């Protein structure tokens, strides 16, 4: 089980015009590992995360999930079919939830399993109930998203992603848009996933959370991984000056 | 000659029949304008140019020329090339397509206004472009556009009077028929106006009900 490359990023580079946003990034995430990506605003954290599921394709380099290359160069139709397939294995949670407002919580969770995996209505309902129980929102199954708090919305978004039984979960600042008192309930759900050994890549500004949950921390700045290591090293004994400067600002708050 | 409304009740059946046809044509043309509007909007935004260009030309034609002329063209013009449509069908097609073009403009703007996060949320789950459009984007765009589209439907109801010119026995033509027998234009046009007003009230109530029902899902 361990020491098995699960998500592999090789020589990843990305530019918008002349702006190099990612520069030769290499990253290997093992099965069950939890990796935090930290770094200042604009350092390329989201871009890297979104490259993993082809939301923002790389300019060059490779992304692999187990033995499948995600960013394969293919003719348009084949490429579309390919990414639609691999994305089913990659759950993503966004800062702004991106729940579908016209569907109930149940509809949000069951839509993709029903459409893409051909689940029957009964099976999909059961799945929705299971996933909602997991995030502690069973009683909200028939509500519309507009009736939920931010923390509840994010938990539903996590349940929606989990309903696809993904192999890896990507979180892009899942708690940044939340009122401070709602952050903890979402963190709790993520901790629970960690205990279940879900493979996770988490972009976050919450250093305490990264320190307590993650196996590895990557510090990014200006499109490169400046330093990486276990949280004990990165947070208490970083080698790089840039990491120390960043942490001084963020830990002293 | 003073006003004498006592003749109106004698023609109650004629007017009611006319109102029935007006309602029927409004519903049929309304549905055509709704679904046609969605189809035109999707073609305008995402269609292949071979489809997009004719649709744009067609939209230009329907927005830039009088509805009355369009009705004549569909009913009297098409016969010449062998397409002999019943007046009701010609009326529904004319009104429906005319308003489909206007609805399409609204829906296009509304599709473009759907948050980028909605596409990302759907595509991330593995939905294709088409699935995302059908299940996520268009339902939201349509919900957002119901209030202004409701105004188009009310305009459609009123413009349905125009199909009297191709002989559909709707409310306006029914009133004219009653007038030709009684020589009481003021009374019957007023009675017809009253009928339109009632149907309009019902339509507005329906639209408000719809808006309330979808309020939570927006
Ligand atoms: N679509 C785009 N076009 C041009 N530049 C972009 C685009 N998306 C991102 N960028 C640029 O890429 C750089 C990295 O952006 P990214 O969103 O990955 O940063 P981040 O580390 O996630 O920052 P934050 O902490 O603020 O979310 C920034 O300089 C940003 O302006
Ligand atoms: Mg970001």
Q: Is B81 left (phi over 0), alpha (psi -120 to 50) or beta?
A: alpha
The number of folded domains in chain A is 1
- The domain containing residue A199 runs over which residues? 5-249
Nearest neighbour of A84 by CB, restricted to B120, B128, B216: B128
pLDDT at position A251, please? 75
- For B2, other C-beta atoms within 10 Å of its C-beta total 3
Query: Helix %, strand %, coil % for chain B, to 5?
Result: 90, 0, 10
Higher-pLDDT residue of A130 and A4 is: A130
Q: List the CATH number of the domain containing A162.
A: 3.40.50.300
CA distance B110 to chain A (A): 14
**Residue B96 C-alpha to ligand 2 middle, in angstroms?**
47
Averaged pLDDT for residues A28-43: 95
| Contact indicator for A92, A48 with CB cutoff of 8 Å | no
pLDDT at position B218, please? 80
| Contact indicator for A241, A209 with CB cutoff of 8 Å | no
- A80 and B122 within 8 Å at the Cβ level: the answer is no
Is B160 contained in some domain? Answer: yes
Q: Which residues contact A19 (CB under 8 A, 6 or more apart)?
A: none
pLDDT at position B3, please? 83
Q: Which residue is listed with tokens 């990796």?
A: A35
Burial of B83 (0-12, 13-18, 19+ CB in 10 A): exposed
The pTM assigned to this predicted structure is 0.91
Contacts of B210 in chain A (CB under 8 A): none
Is B9 contained in some domain? Answer: no
Per-residue tokens: B44: 């305008």
- The domain containing residue B54 runs over which residues? 20-216
| Residue A250 pLDDT level (bands cut at 50, 70, 90) | confident
Q: Which residues contact B24 (CB under 8 A, 6 or more apart)?
A: B88
Residues A171, A166, A104, B37, Cα dihedral to 10°? 90
Residue B9 Cα distances to A100, A141, B178, B185, angstroms: 53, 55, 11, 15
Percent of chain B with pLDDT over 70: 100
The number of folded domains in chain B is 1
Distance CA A47, CA B125 (A): 18
The tens digit of pLDDT for each residue in B4-49 reads 888 888 889 999 999 999 999 999 999 999 999 999 999 999 999 9
Residue B7 Cα distances to B19, B187, B194, B195, angstroms: 18, 9, 16, 16
pLDDT at position B5, please? 86
Query: Helix %, strand %, coil % for chain A, to 5?
Result: 40, 25, 35
| Residue A1 pLDDT level (bands cut at 50, 70, 90) | very low
pLDDT at position A108, please? 98
pLDDT at position A157, please? 98
CA distance B216 to chain A (A): 6
The tens digit of pLDDT for each residue in A36-76 reads 999 999 999 999 999 999 999 999 999 999 999 999 999 99
Find the largest Cα–Cα distance for chain B: 75
| Residue B109 pLDDT level (bands cut at 50, 70, 90) | very high
Of A211, A203, A193, nearest to A251 by C-alpha is A211
pLDDT at position B216, please? 82
Residue B22 Cα distances to A215, B26, B89, B174, angstroms: 70, 6, 13, 10
**Residue A172 C-alpha to ligand 2 middle, in angstroms?**
7
Of A21, A85, A6, nearest to A59 by C-alpha is A21
Q: Is A43 close to ligand 1, i.e. is its CB under 6 Å away?
A: yes
Is B187 contained in some domain? Answer: yes
| Residue A2 pLDDT level (bands cut at 50, 70, 90) | very low
Per-residue tokens: A171: 């979180």
- B135 and A55 within 8 Å at the Cβ level: the answer is no
Q: List the CATH number of the domain containing B69.
A: 1.10.3720.10
**Residue B74 C-alpha to ligand 2 middle, in angstroms?**
56
């Amino acid at each position: 089980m361990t020491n098995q490359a699960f998500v592999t990023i090789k020589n990843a580079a990305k530019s918008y015009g002349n702006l190099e946003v990612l520069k030769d990034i290499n990253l290997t995430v093992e099965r069950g590992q939890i990796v935090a990506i930290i770094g200042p605003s604009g350092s390329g954290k989201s871009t890297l995360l979104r490259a993993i599921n082809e939301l923002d394709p790389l300019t060059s380099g490779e992304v692999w999930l187990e033995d499948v290359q995600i960013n394969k160069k293919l003719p348009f139709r084949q490429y579309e079919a390919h990414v639609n397939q691999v994305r089913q294995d990659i759950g993503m949670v966004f800062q702004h939830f991106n729940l579908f407002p016209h569907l109930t919580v149940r509809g949000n969770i069951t839509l993709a399993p029903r459409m893409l995996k051909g689940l029957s209505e009964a099976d999909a309902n059961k799945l929705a109930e299971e996933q909602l129980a997991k995030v502690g929102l069973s009683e909200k199954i028939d509500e519309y998203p507009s009736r939920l708090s931010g923390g509840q919305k994010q938990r539903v978004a996590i349940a929606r992603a989990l309903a696809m039984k993904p192999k890896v979960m990507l979180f892009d600042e899942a708690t940044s848009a939340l009122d401070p008192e709602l952050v903890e309930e979402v963190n709790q759900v993520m901790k629970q996933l960690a205990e279940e050994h879900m493979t996770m890549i988490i972009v976050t500004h919450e250093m305490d959370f990264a320190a307590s949950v993650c196996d590895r921390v990557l510090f990014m700045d200006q499109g490169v991984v400046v330093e990486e290591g276990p949280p004990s090293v990165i947070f208490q004994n970083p080698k790089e000056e840039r990491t120390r400067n960043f942490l001084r600002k963020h830990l002293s708050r | 000659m003073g006003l004498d409304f006592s003749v109106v009740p004698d023609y109650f059946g004629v007017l009611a029949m006319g109102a029935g046809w007006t309602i029927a044509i409004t519903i049929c043309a309304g549905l055509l304008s709704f679904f046609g509007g969605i189809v035109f909007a999707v073609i305008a935004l995402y269609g292949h140019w071979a489809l997009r260009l004719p649709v744009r030309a067609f939209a230009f034609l329907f927005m830039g020329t009088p509805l009355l002329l369009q009705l004549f063209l569909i009913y009297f013009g098409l016969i010449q090339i062998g397409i002999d449509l019943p007046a009701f069908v010609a009326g529904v097609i004319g009104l429906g397509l005319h308003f489909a073009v206007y609805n399409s403009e609204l829906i296009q703007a509304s599709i473009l206004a759907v948050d980028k996060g909605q596409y990302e949320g759907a595509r991330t789950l593995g939905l294709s472009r088409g699935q995302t459009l059908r299940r996520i984007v268009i339902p939201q765009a349509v919900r957002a556009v119901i209030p202004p589209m409701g105004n188009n439907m009310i305009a459609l109801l009123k413009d349905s009077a125009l199909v009297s010119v191709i002989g559909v026995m709707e409310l306006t033509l029914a009133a004219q028929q009653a007038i030709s027998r009684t020589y009481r234009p003021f009374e019957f046009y007023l009675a017809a106006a009253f009928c339109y007003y009632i149907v309009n009230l019902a339509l507005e109530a329906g639209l408000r009900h719809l808006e309330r029902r979808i309020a939570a899902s927006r």
